[in-house]
Amino acid sequence: MKRVIVSIDGAGKIYHLRGLGRKMSVAALSDFTLDIFEGEILGLLGLNGAGKTTVMKLLTGLIFPTSGKVSVFGLDPREPRAKNSIGFLPELPYFPPHNTPYGALRYYGLLSGMSGSAIAAALPVVMEKVGLAPHAAKKISEFSKGMLQRLGLAQAVLHSPELLVLDEPVSGLDPLAIHDMRALISGMQAEGKTIFLSSHSISELEKICDRVIIMAGGHKTLSVERKNWETAPGALESLFVEAVRR
């Protein structure tokens, strides 16, 4: 049996908001339980506001649960050892536009605790891997949306993490860029990485994932394995529609 590397046990998250003299509490996540297994590509599927980004922020240590427990490699995700094991690509990665990709990646490598020599050795390898080597001298301000996503992925894998967390990695990309991103993600899995990604695109998750979690209203409503959709076209879409309309 494969090792569980992420465990979310009964997690809840309540946001307390203030505005116009009023205080309001919003439950973004309720009693959410999930295990992520070593080496799998696990997709998270849900409508806007379903709680997908909240789940990703919990397991990357950007926020903490109001209730329940989250562990990454047996550690609190806010611990440095856990953070060093995770590579995170946010939905809208930002890099200083005046910088070159090498300059930006050096900065993020230092933030990850890498030594200067380790960064120097990793940079050309990572740039080649994500297809940005020919653009190393360009300013980031010249990059297309697809190139920015590639740079975001380079940032996520620079320190050789075991777990990649990708929030909407194909959002806003054209069909060719989506194809290339899919190939990159599959290649990362072939190298032994575990990948957890969210998407609005059912067809993309069908093509790349081993398993898909469907969310609605801050709850996990269904877990679907590849064998349940790959022999029946449209099966994942039907399961999704049924799950979110319950």
Give residue limits of the domains in the chain: 4-245
22 CB burial (10 A radius; 0-12, 13-18, 19+)? exposed
Domain boundaries 4-245, corresponding CATH code: 3.40.50.300
Check whether 231 has a pLDDT greater than 90: no
Cα radius of gyration (the chain): 18
pLDDT at res. 30: 94
pLDDT at res. 214: 95
Q: List pLDDT tens digits, range 171-203.
A: 878 888 888 889 989 999 999 999 999 988 898
Q: List pLDDT tens digits, range 81-130.
A: 999 999 999 988 889 999 999 999 999 999 888 999 999 999 999 999 89
Q: At what angle do helices 116-129 and 101-111 cross, to 10 degrees?
A: 130
Token couple for 230: 């790959």
Cα 109 from Cα 123, distance rounded (Å): 9
Confidence band, pLDDT 50/70/90 cuts, at residue 244: confident
Nearest Cα residue to 136 out of 99, 170, 164? 99
- Which residue has better confidence, 175 or 232? 175
Cα 159 from Cα 80, distance rounded (Å): 13
Cα 171 from Cα 174, distance rounded (Å): 9
- What residues have CB less than 8 Å from 94, skipping those under 6 apart? none
